[in-house]
Structure 1
Amino acid sequence: MIRNLQRTTLRDQCLNALRSAITSGQLPTGHHLVETELAEAFGVSRGTLREAMRRLEQEGLLVAGSRGQLSVRHIEESEIRDIYRVRAALEALAARTLCEQPDRDERIATLEAHVRRMHEVQDNLIEQIETDLNFHRALCELSGNQALLTTWLTLEGPIRISIMHAGLEHALHNMAADRHDLIVCTLAENDAAHIEQVLVEHMDEAARRLMTALEQRAEG
């Protein structure tokens, strides 16, 4: 996670490094970010670091405490349930809309390429996280519904927090490439009702695993 950054687009590099560290659990939920330590570790000014941190606060990855200090956001079980219900509704609508497009085969081919990439990065956690998010973001983008995509993007920060919140084992299961093969195969059937069912079940299973893990952690 910690490394000096090249002297090009420092703010974006700092932003990406922090985002990856949070998404992968290297900076766990509740962790307080210390500007002096992070700025020195990344080899950037505190001003550059603050810009990146403000962006992550807007994305929902960081939250300000009573004294203004930023920490990695903690998500409650009820929030995870709500996030994944909204995801299910958005992505089911995206899939139905994609099926209606005259060039649907080309759009599905784009999603197939995303899934192939998911299969290629099975041994790289950071890449698995990013390819998983890229697939679902692309599904919304390929629907052609800009309002839908904009709404989905507001959830991306909380989605990133939830990915690792319940532990690596559950995160890896939810991001498995074969789970996404099923989505693409069902899209190819051009059956709107069936793809909606598959996506709702996809999100329900992901949320259920996350919430069960949190319950077990609380009991332990």
Structure 2
Amino acid sequence: MVYHLRKDNLASGVYERIKKGILSLEYPPGYILQERNLAEELGMSRTPVREAVHRLSQEGWLRVNSRKNIQVRPVSSSDLREVFQARKILERDALELLLATGLAREAGRKMAAMAGAMNESRGSLFSFITADQSFHSVLFLVLGNSVLRKFWNAVSEEMIWLGMLAMNEKRYDDVLAEHGRILAAVEEGRKRAAREALLEHLEKTEDILLRKIDDVSSSYGRGS
């Protein structure tokens, strides 16, 4: 049981649990959460739940209008475009820097491992999307630039959330194929081909999401 944990550790655990619920779409965009129900669901008092909700609201994941009106942040086309704009700049430049500094072979090995993990996790959408982000994170891990990695981390969780919205079972093969083209170009050190494959992959994902936003907004009801 968690009751022996220090107060800050308890609140941190609740924070991680609620955040995973948001990223995995257990609590989808626009969903209404209630402090009392969350406490009952997690089997604890309302104090650590309140602290976790406050932290998530500061990070922009939740909108708190009152104690009885806690809403998961809705997704909008403008937010989506901003995230993808930042992501394209970060990944494109990280990829080009990596290929220019002779790190393609190391990156290729790690990306191949992540592609394998994606293929093995096809039965779990959340695991697949998490592995997908690990695939893209390789660029920043191999570069070893802590500043770039900090910027990347700021958009990576957003992409897990958006990736969950974009994905369905029919797209598993497409994503794996798109990643395969990126991986092949990186392994061979083909800078232009890698850049084109990466941007094509990101643009396809963005287009799918833009088409789905209206459906997401209308189909997700409010929780209790």
TM-score, with length taken from structure 1: 0.81
Counting only pairs closer than 5 Å after superposition, residues 1-220 of structure 1 correspond to structure 2 as: 10-65=10-65, 67=66, 69-165=69-165, 168-169=167-168, 172-173=171-172, 176-215=175-214
Q: What is the CA deviation profile of residues 102-146 of structure 1, one whole-angstrom value per residue up to 9, with x for unaligned ones?
A: 443223211211111111100012211221222223322322232
Distance 1:176 1:55 in 2: 33
Distance 1:45 1:151 in 2: 35
Structure 1 letter corresponding to 2:186:
L
Paired residues of 1:61 and 1:158 also in contact (CA < 8 A): no
Structure 1 letter corresponding to 2:54:
R
Paired residues of 2:106 and 2:142 also in contact (CA < 8 A): no
CA shift in 2, pair 1:57/1:114, >3 Å: farther
Paired residues of 2:30 and 2:217 also in contact (CA < 8 A): no
Structure 2 letter corresponding to 1:37:
N
Unaligned runs of 5+ in 1: none
Distance 2:208 2:128 in 1: 18
Paired residues of 1:5 and 1:14 also in contact (CA < 8 A): no
Post-superposition shift, 1:170? Answer: 8.1
Distance 1:171 1:6 in 2: 43
CA shift in 2, pair 1:183/1:163, >3 Å: same
Distance 1:50 1:185 in 2: 47
Structure 1 letter corresponding to 2:177:
D
Structure 1 letter corresponding to 2:160:
R
Q: How many aligned residue pairs are there? A: 215
TM-score, with length taken from structure 2: 0.80
Structure 1 letter corresponding to 2:62:
L
Task: Give aligned-pair identity as a percent.
Answer: 25
Structure 2 letter corresponding to 1:26:
E
Paired residues of 1:59 and 1:157 also in contact (CA < 8 A): no
Distance 1:115 1:55 in 2: 33
Distance 2:92 2:177 in 1: 18
Q: What is the CA deviation profile of residues 10-68 of structure 1, one whole-angstrom value per residue up to 9, with x for unaligned ones?
A: 44443332222212222121112211111121123323223333343344322333x47
Post-superposition shift, 1:174? Answer: 9.2
Paired residues of 1:35 and 1:46 also in contact (CA < 8 A): yes
Paired residues of 1:29 and 1:165 also in contact (CA < 8 A): no
Distance 2:179 2:90 in 1: 16
Structure 2 letter corresponding to 1:211:
L
Tell me the SS of whatever aligns to 1:190: coil
RMSD, aligned CA: 3.0
Distance 2:101 2:89 in 1: 19
Q: What is the CA deviation profile of residues 146-200 of structure 1, one whole-angstrom value per residue up to 9, with x for unaligned ones?
A: 222212222234323323445x538955983332222211111212222222111
Computing the radius of gyration from Cα coordinates, the structure with the larger value is 2
Structure 1 letter corresponding to 2:19:
R
